[in-house]
Amino acid sequence: MKTMVSGIKPTGQLHLGNYLGALKNFVTYQDDYHMIAFIANLHCITVYQDPKELQTYLKDCIALYLACGLDPDKATIFLQTDVLEHAQLGFILNCNTYLGELNRMTQYKDKVAKNEINLTGGIYTYPTLMAADILMYDADYVPVGDDQKQHVELTRDVAIRFNNRYGETFKVPEPIIPKTGARIMSLSDPSKKMSKSDESNKGCIYLLDDLKIVHKKIMSAVTDDKAQVKYDVHNQPGIANLMTIYASLTGKTMSEIEKEFEGQLYGNFKKAVSAVVCDELAMIQEKYRNIVESNIMDEVLLKGKQFASKKAQEKLDLVQKKIGIEIR
Ligand code: TYM
């Protein structure tokens, strides 16, 4: 069985972009692959987080993994900090990555371009920690949204370089980007990605949002004056984004959606989008409440930790022997 590895960093509540670009696909893949889905909590602290809030987000994230359908009997689910080897392999890979490569990472470059102050060393080097997360488990595939593709490509380059230097050690993974939903845009500004750090809060649908608020956010999504439901990312980005959300949740193609809403007002289309989103979130939220009450999260994380730790110890041991820092 081929292995997939992916993670989410809960620096805020998980949102519809995380769900459609990543989490929903993990659930689909767990039947045919060994899906290793972890919570990337070390990645959270590359930017300062309020410790109390972070704890809440972490717990919610674990519960949401399960509520969205990840099954601990099929998938391996664990907390990154429960497996200490990630940080150590991260440092080793850091030493096998060039500054020029890190300088080219879009997320870092964007922050520099925006003159963000007090950027940390963590934000600069986190792609090598991400490489460690992936290479640790001999992943064949890494299912991620579009914005993470560059990091998986860096992971591949680092793995190839390491293998050339020290002999075959890492499997070279491939990114898997969903055909629909790889880049869900903000509802209030469809030129920007839907993101946890959305300041206005209107453009982002959180998985735990009250459904009335979800409806409101969708009904007030920015569209255009063309009055036609047509998939045209360039000229009608707001409508294209709503179509993408609708397509991801219904499985319909863009031309089927265009036909379904031909001659109809945007209001009708938005109501239909809201209905499918609210149905999906209602299901997730109900399961989330049951999971939080049932207290099964510790048990799930312990099981995941036991499996991941064993694999990680073996891999780190091999790596350290190869590079010559072990004396036994
Ligand atoms: P993160 O936490 O920013 O995002 C988690 C996943 O959600 C996807 N995503 C989106 N997909 C579609 N539309 C959007 N608007 C949207 N926003 C986010 C992301 O592409 C990602 O798949 N560094 C990673 C976490 C990570 C990781 C890993 C992923 C750490 N180690 C190893 C894979 C493998 C991150 O910050 O993702």
- Looking at residue 295, its pLDDT comes to 83
8 Å CB contact between 186 and 207: no
Quick: pLDDT tens for 206-222: 999 999 999 999 999 99
Atom number, ligand 1, closest to the C-alpha of residue 130? 31
- What confidence tens digit (pLDDT) does each residue in 146-185 have? 999 999 999 999 999 999 999 999 999 999 999 999 999 9
Residue 196 bears catalytic tag: yes
- Which mutation among 45, 64, 147, 174 tests ligand 1's pocket best, with the greatest number of atoms within 8 A of CB? 147
- Collect the ranges in the chain with pLDDT lower than 70: none
Going along the chain from its start, the domains and CATH numbers come out as: 3-182+296-323 (3.40.50.620), 211-289 (1.10.240.10)
pLDDT of residue 310: 98
Residues 6+ apart with CB under 8 A from 102: 108, 124, 125, 127, 128
**Model pLDDT, residue 127:** 98
Backbone φ, ψ for residue 174 (5° rounding): -115, 140
Torsions phi, psi for 214 (to 5 deg): -60, -45
Catalytic residue among 59, 74, 171, 196: 196
